[in-house]
Structure 1
């Protein structure tokens, strides 16, 4: 018999469970960004600001392509979470097999096309001519690594849907350590390794992801995890039509949300490119700092979505609302605790990526002071969108995101650029983020997301009542439920 989930998120104190479940996700996010920052230090300090600017351009395309299949993995996670919450292990395994076949197959197609389109995609972003060869050399290798990155991300999300956030974190650490170790070896050609320059940083990512993915697969097989599918389960890899339909109808819109974010990032990068290499390098360095600021909200949102999905499956709607309130509270506490020191110490932190005497360094500080506050507001939208998506309400968050990014942020940056110059780009972040927070809170309070369903594959145990109290999330609400019993972990079979 396969092992059962290691943690139930349908019982126990909400605050404690959400925090313990989100901490490994946060740790993984920090490790990933630390990995990117260390690699950026190697590139920026030893290969030059042009190489750092080239990677900033290439990474925007990479995020776009990751986002294009992200929604399918998120839909699978919600379906698995609902099935686990309802106690339907067979359905969870069916979702796992169908999702893996569809998700990984699609990622291979996207990556194959990307290898040939790398230069054209960079040119479409108005990448400066002097950066194009460097960015192309890096991006082509990243495309080769895409299927490995997709597979690892999908498995991690599926495990979290089953209530296990620790295992993905452990193997993510393996990937990060290997990537950091391989970077200088392949960039500079140390020892038996070839000297590959900027492409060496991408090859380090490919090797690290491949090794970590194999390790995760062997671990799941050895532990006989509930989601491990062996030779006897090959039939489960044949896509189930109900699951496939749900993955497409719900996953594609959620993936579109990530694509829209990535496209907005590309649009902003295109605007920034007009101001020259110094500004591009400054923006790239600021992005490295911002990666850390948005991590708490992203981790809490991912944990809240999984916890809400399990409780939707179990029919515990009071816990779904409590999860939303607690997630918003944690976002304000954790994100706010990062912003202030990063403002006070940004002269030092930015000097990790840029020469402190350079013009780009001062530009980066100016950008940081204006835009970093936006992540406090954007985090609220992350958390609330994660909760409402757990029921299958995937379209309203997209509409709100379209309005925030393409109705406010990009037009603001474009239209006010003649008046404010580059500052129009930086101010567009807090303005659009504040609007997104207000829209998300309004929809959570008055929207009909509780009545949404994931489709034919929805496995919730109890239908939502026709009238459910709609308590708006408050950043000062008590995150714990004192009447809950202590968490009882499910035992492995």
Structure 2
């Protein structure tokens, strides 16, 4: 096994290994974000505001449909990392093959649901008539190639389980370049509008899937993938579902609340939709940086739970939280200081830029709270408990935001876009507090001073 392609997180410096894991993952996530950023920038500058609104308004819907299966890839990561930390070779091999086949099935299901339901859901979200057809076309093409996205997500999750975040970065670098080149060719030269950026995304993600599978096929360790031996191990599948399904539902709940919020934003017209979409894309870069440390917590905790080194988990938790706050605050400050220049990258319309300012001030002054919330949830999930973060998300984020929109937002004096966006930081605080309470309960149960330690992989 090439040691450069793995990180043993059960020994050595906690902060050093967290950085070693998280930095390549942050850059990988940034490149993945650039897929959507390239779409939005190209259509915004070369196809018009309606096309920008059409592509930008699909993000919450895509996340709603995809997050359940993305949660299963998190389950694969946790299970594989746990077996890797425990040195359990046979179960690790079965996890690899089960996960890849599961990714294919997930993609097929998403293709069917996405193509059949896109227009219906967009209408339910009150998408304006001027963007409805363009948004529907974009989604149908996007979901036609979603299997490749699922294969890449599951494959990279498996590599992350042993601390390999570098090779997924190299893959996304190549795919990102291809995506950008195809965007420019399809939109500027062939005038394909939103269809062009959708096909560029599908083709580039297909390249990423092929490369991740190639890496796994040529691995020489327990992460080796044999295409002739692909099958679902039901015991491993049950463990992946136990961890991943609650994580997926948590993502769905956040996405559902975001769909409700997007529906409220849609009532203010295409200009606010376009401005909101541009700022959301910028936010993604801050979230990605914070999420790198959050994902580091997930894998770090999973490996150490397998090795039963719970004292390292305690120390990692607060190191990760501190890192999230620092990087989130620094990046948000930069984006606030240069907000007009950054928004000017996405659109030339002064009205759209001004509309985006509303969201800018609310989110970029509080966004570190979102990172803290996710980091704590992933720490809990990493030690084998996925159900409680779902409950806290249901109450603190999804239910709260819906109640906010049907009560506070309906007050005539507060029926404004700013009121919509304020629901985010309030829900982040509530959810973080709930996750912190659950974390303290679970970590105290796993105290190394106790003679009898329960198995940590299955959640309760």
* 1:338 aligns to 2:334 (yes or no): no
Q: Distance in 2 between matches of 1:160 and 1:209?
A: 19
Counterpart pick for 1:290 among 254, 259, 283 = 283
Are 1:327 and 2:320 counterparts? yes
Measured after TM superposition, the shift of residue 410 of structure 1 is 2.9
Instruction: Tell me whether 1:377 sits opposite 2:369 in the alignment.
Output: yes
Q: CA–CA distance in 1 between the matches of 2:26 and 2:288?
A: 6
> Aligned match of 1:230 in 226, 232, 244?
226
Structure-1 residue corresponding to 2:49:
49
Correspondence 1:198 to 2:191: no
CA distance in 2, matches of 1:38, 1:141: 16
State the Cα deviation string for residues 239-298 of structure 1 (Å, max 9, x = none).
222112222233211110111111111111001001111111111111011111211221
Equivalent residue for 2:38? Answer: 38
Distance 1:24 1:225 in 2: 22
* CA root-mean-square deviation: 2.1
**Offset, 1:340:** 1.0
Deviations 1:454-489 (A, max 9, x none): xxxxxxxx9975599xxxxxxxxxxxxxxxxxxxxx
Match of 1:359 among 351, 354, 359: 351
Spell out, residue by residue over 1:30-80, the C-alpha distance to the aligned partner (whole angstroms, 9 max, x if none): 222233223211111111111111112222221122202011111111110
- Alignment correspondent of 1:312: 305
The whole-number CA distance in structure 2 between the counterparts of 1:464 and 1:241 is 32
Partners of 1:430 and 1:263 in 2: CA distance: 17
Distance 1:102 1:32 in 2: 22
- Would you tell me which structure has more helix in proportion to its own residues? 2
Alignment of structure 1 residues 388-399 onto 2, 5 Å: 388-399=380-391
**Closer/same/farther in 2, CA of residues 104 and 374 from structure 1, 3 Å limit:** farther
Task: State the match for 2:119 in structure 1.
Answer: 119
Q: Does 1:177 align with 2:177?
A: yes
Q: Distance in 2 between matches of 1:314 and 1:333?
A: 30
The answer as to whether partners of 1:57 and 1:122 remain within 8 angstroms in 2 is no
Gaps in structure 2 of 5+ consecutive residues: 455-460
Give per-residue Cα distances to partners, 1:344-383, cap 9 Å, x unaligned.
1101111111325x22211211221122233211111111
Q: 2:205 aligned with 1:212, yes or no?
A: no
Q: Distance in 1 between matches of 2:194 and 2:81?
A: 40
Contact 2:108 2:147 in 1 (8 A): yes
Distance between the aligned counterparts of 1:434 and 1:393, measured in 2?
21
User: Which has the larger displacement, 302-311 or 406-415?
Assistant: 406-415
Give the match for residue 14 of structure 1. Answer: 14
Whether 1:434 aligns to 2:426 is no
- State the alpha-carbon separation in 2 of the partners of residues 77 and 394 from structure 1: 13
- Which residue pairs with 1:489 in the alignment? none
Cα distance, 1:450 vs. partner? Answer: 6.4
Q: Counterparts of 1:307 and 1:363 in 2: how far apart (Å)?
A: 41
Query: Which of 418, 425, 441 is residue 423 of structure 1 equivalent to?
Result: 418
Structure 1 residue 406: Cα displacement: 2.2
Q: Deviations over 1:181-206 (max 9, x none)?
A: 11011123x3xxx5422111010011
Q: Structure 1 CA distance, aligned partners of 2:384 and 2:147? A: 27
3-state DSSP of counterpart to 2:130: coil
Q: Give the deviation of 1:144 after TM superposition.
A: 0.8
**Aligned pair partner of 2:402 in 390, 401, 410:** 410
Distance 1:44 1:60 in 2: 18
State the TM-score, normalizing by the size of structure 1.
Answer: 0.87
Alpha-carbon distance change, 101 to 42 in structure 1, aligned in 2, over 3 angstroms? same
Give 1:471's aligned residue: none
Confirm or deny: 8 A CA contact 1:410 1:428 kept in the other structure.
no
- Aligned equivalents of 2:106, 2:398: Cα separation in 1: 27
Identify the residue that residue 92 of structure 1 maps to in structure 2. Answer: 92
Query: What is the aligned partner in structure 1 of residue 136 from structure 2?
Result: 136
**Gapped regions of structure 1 (runs ≥ 5):** 453-461, 469-493
1:443 corresponds to which residue? 438
Distance 1:414 1:67, change over 3 A: same
Would you say how many aligned residue pairs link Structure 1 and Structure 2? 449
Against the structure 1 CA distance between its residues 448 and 156, is the aligned structure 2 distance closer, same or farther, given a 3 Å change threshold?
A: same
Instruction: Sort the Cα spacing of 1:253 and 1:178 in 2 relative to 1 into closer, same or farther, 3 A.
Output: same
1:291-321 deviations in Å (ceiling 9; x for gaps): 1121122111111110110011001111111
Q: Is the 8 A contact 1:414 1:424 kept in 2?
A: no
Deviation at 1:124, TM superposition (A): 1.6
> How much does 1:225 deviate?
5.0
Higher relative contact order (CA 8 A, sep 6+): 1
Contact residue 67 and residue 258 of structure 1 kept, 8 A: yes
The question of whether the paired residues in 2 share the 8 Å contact of 1:374 and 1:431 is answered with no
Which residue does 2:457 correspond to in 1? none
